[in-house]
Amino acid sequence: MIKLRLIYCLAIVLGSGACSTAPTESLGEFRETVLIEGYLQAGSHVSNIFVGTTMPLSSEYDRDASALSDASVAITVDGATHTLSPAPDKPGTYIQPDLIVESGKTYHLSVTTGLGTATAQTTVPYPPRASGAAVLYVGGDPYRVTWEGGTNGGYVTSRQVVELLERIPPENQFGGGRFGGGFGGTIDTTGFGALRDSIARADQWRFLQGQSQTLNPIQFSYYGTYSLLVFALDENYGDFLISSQQDEATLDEPRFHVKGGIGVFASMAADSVVFQVE
């Protein structure tokens, strides 16, 4: 599952819950705010819903110290409410292993703490339909994966290792500048783009709807089997990723889609292409 760290709104979100574009304006008195970080993936059970609080700028952010392990957390879907339980040895994290996430369904999250109740909802997208050749040849043409889908949130891709074989001889790799071993499953964000007319028009922040990913053979250091996963994102996730790429001159606020708190409650669905590097 994709794991993207939250990019916080620096002084303003942590201090008052609303960003200002005036850098000389007083931040006012610090007020704790409920922080939610939760991602649902189609086909997987509900896990890793983090609940915590913001911390003042004068403190170094510590995830465990900010965690709230006594919250009441529930998800409602299809009219049924499912209570989440604290995860062992993971402060502030809540899970429900009996609830499997399904595409097309809307999941409503409710988090109640001593600071009040925060709510959010996400409609899980359907997975894209990805396709690509079975073999990427070292020394050959670039390898291209294409996909089709209907989400408005955009797409991200992740390359993962299935099986590594022997190292590719340097003379076959056409010089340096390569990445090793297929990225180990991290997310390649270099293809992110946005349509952003102004700070006031946050509704126009979106991923550009890419439909393909090209891999160069020199990006691989080992022969073997790899997969490229294509994740369709819901609008919550797409809005957050784009809007959290802040302009240093304005510090405009990310789009959280959380009522009564800040953070992100989002969903995704993936398809994959498995290929050999030969």
Task: Give me the domain span that covers residue 241.
Answer: 10-277
- 3 within a domain of the structure (yes/no): no
- 271 within a domain of the structure (yes/no): yes
More confident residue, 249 or 166: 166
Q: Is the pLDDT assigned to residue 111 strictly greater than 60?
A: yes
- 19 within a domain of the structure (yes/no): yes
CA-CA distance, 154 to 211, in Å (whole number)?
Answer: 9
**pLDDT score of 220:** 92
Number of domains making up the chain: 1
- 4 within a domain of the structure (yes/no): no
The string of pLDDT tens digits covering residues 135-150 is: 999 989 999 999 999 8
* Closest to 138 measured CA to CA, from 215, 63, 80: 215
More confident residue, 201 or 101: 101
The distance of Cα 150 from the centroid of its chain, to the nearest Å, equals 18
244 confidence band (pLDDT: 50, 70, 90): confident
- 54 within a domain of the structure (yes/no): yes
- 134 within a domain of the structure (yes/no): yes
Beta sheet of 106-113, edge-to-edge order:
80-83, 72-77, 106-113, 116-123
State how beta strands 262-277 and 135-136 pair: parallel
Q: Is the pLDDT assigned to residue 123 strictly greater than 90?
A: yes
- 5 within a domain of the structure (yes/no): no
* Closest to 45 measured CA to CA, from 77, 71, 79, 89: 77
Rounded to 5 degrees, what are φ and ψ at 163?
A: -155, 130
* Closest to 227 measured CA to CA, from 141, 164, 150: 164
Query: What is the percentage of the chain residues whose pLDDT exceeds 70?
Result: 74
- Tokens at 67, concatenated: 């965690």
In sequence order, which ranges of 154-264 are alpha helices (DSSP H)?
235-243
The string of pLDDT tens digits covering residues 213-226 is: 899 998 899 999 99
CA-CA distance, 24 to 200, in Å (whole number)?
Answer: 20
- 60 within a domain of the structure (yes/no): yes
127 DSSP 8-state letter? P
134's CB contacts (< 8 A; 6+ apart) are 275, 276
Neighbours of 164 (CB within 10 A): 16
